[in-house]
Amino acid sequence: MIDWLNSTAVTAFGVGTTWAELLGFGTGLVNVGLLVRRHIANWPVGILNVLLLMVVFWSVGLYADAGLQIVYVILGCYGWWAWRYGGAQHTELRVRGTTRAEWRWLALAGVLLTAALWLFLDRFTGSTVPLPDALTTALSLLATYGQTRKLVESWWLWIAADLIYIPLYGYKGLWLTALLYCAFLLLCVLGLRAWRAAREADRVTAR
């Protein structure tokens, strides 16, 4: 199965694109589209997506990104549960803003994660891009956690990560994945607007 996923499906921009990257492209678009609409099915689709991307990233030496996908599976399972039962009295979770205390913890976690991953990748792996690999990994983890809690500002973290991912994947020759992240960037902007609107609607309803 792994051999088939790593085999060439199509040629894009003069570079062979594997089945794992192609299927990751499709499931990634579906996943973020469902996330923008706050549809709970984004979580199982997202779990499938990250398993495919794990194969892609490992094959090109993006080891932190590959390892990150395992954490995504765990967060995906948690997010699936939290969206359905994480609200008051185990009700559906509602969209809300990030508190100052949460921002402080997120900032601290981001700095520590980036520093630790950078050191690990630089000294113990063959990564050719240890700093951007570490930074995008940290941003992605924080953004995913924010979305498990339906925090509006998690979209800003994804936007920051995508702006680094796009040239990084181009540099690694993953042009289809780079194109996918261009689409993700647009969807993140739409998601930010949609979640802000949902938060305001909930505020009006609560009055």
Assess contact for 87 and 94: CB atoms under 8 A: yes
Would you give the distance in Å from CA 1 to the centre of its chain?
24
Q: What is the pLDDT of residues 72-130, one digit of tens each?
A: 899 999 999 999 887 777 778 889 999 999 999 999 999 999 999 899 888 887 778 88
What is the rounded CA–CA span in Å between residue 13 and residue 124?
A: 32
pLDDT given for residue 207 in this prediction = 59
Look at residues 197, 182, 181 and name the one whose alpha carbon lies nearest to residue 65: 181
pLDDT given for residue 15 in this prediction = 66
- pLDDT for 194 beyond 90: yes
Would you give the distance in Å from CA 173 to the centre of its chain?
20
- pLDDT for 2 beyond 80: no
pTM: 0.82
* Pair of tokens at residue 4: 């088939």
What is the rounded CA–CA span in Å between residue 38 and residue 83?
A: 9
What is the rounded CA–CA span in Å between residue 190 and residue 33?
A: 9
β-bridge partners, 12: 15
Q: What is the pLDDT of residues 147-192, one digit of tens each?
A: 999 999 999 999 999 999 999 988 888 787 788 889 889 999 999 9
The CA-atom distances, in angstroms, between 202 and each of 36, 37, 165, 205 are 16, 15, 33, 5
Q: What is the pLDDT of residues 7-65, one digit of tens each?
A: 776 775 566 778 888 888 889 889 988 998 899 999 999 999 989 988 888 887 777 67
**Backbone φ, ψ for residue 87 (5° rounding):** -85, -175
